[in-house]
Amino acid sequence: MQVRQCDFCRMPYQSSGKRICSDCFLKLDLDFFKVRDYLYEHDRAGIEEVHEATGVSRKSILYLLKEERLIVGDEKGGSCGFLTCESCKRPINTGRLCAGCKNQVLSAIQESVGTVNRPKKLTKEMIEESLDGVAKLQLR
């Protein structure tokens, strides 16, 4: 475990891999359920309306959007321009990256991992050679 700064409250905490402390994680979970329940009845509500009706802070709503737990959009299902991709600055509905930038990152990761950890293709001769001197079982 390492000491990290919580992405949400900025306080230091013992990280177990999460980017936020356990207190903020629980608070955001409760906030998410409030927002979700409100949006079931008011599916086209704006951030300001949701904030006023639920008491959930704008910061929490924005964090939930960036963590892809909520999606924002206009009446036609397109992006409303509230969020932008952190890489190319195009408008997005949720998360931190647009689909194109996500694909570029994933491709780069797969390429680098694929070249480093690519296992050798085993041949029958390689297997038999590695088994020399090892007792072999046979069916009768």
- 12 inside domain: no
- 54 inside domain: yes
- 83 inside domain: yes
Helix axes 58-66, 22-41, angle to 10 degrees: 90
Q: What is the pLDDT of residues 38-81, one digit of tens each?
A: 988 987 788 888 999 999 999 999 899 888 888 876 545 455 56
CA 132 – CA 119 distance, rounded (Å): 22
Give residue 6's pLDDT band: very low, low, confident or very high (50, 70, 90): very high
Q: Are 63 and 28 in contact (CB under 8 A)?
A: yes
CA 65 – CA 61 distance, rounded (Å): 6
Could you tell me if 56 and 30 lie in one domain? Answer: yes
Domain count, the chain: 2
How is residue 133 written in tokens?
């001197």
CA 1 – CA 35 distance, rounded (Å): 32
pLDDT of residue 81: 60
- 64 inside domain: yes
Hunting for tokens 């990152």 — which residue is that? Answer: 105
The pLDDT of residue 19 is above 80? yes
Q: Name the pTM for this structure.
A: 0.68
Point out the domain boundary residue: 35, 70, 105. Answer: 70
**Host domain of residue 95:** 73-116
Could you tell me if 56 and 86 lie in one domain? Answer: no
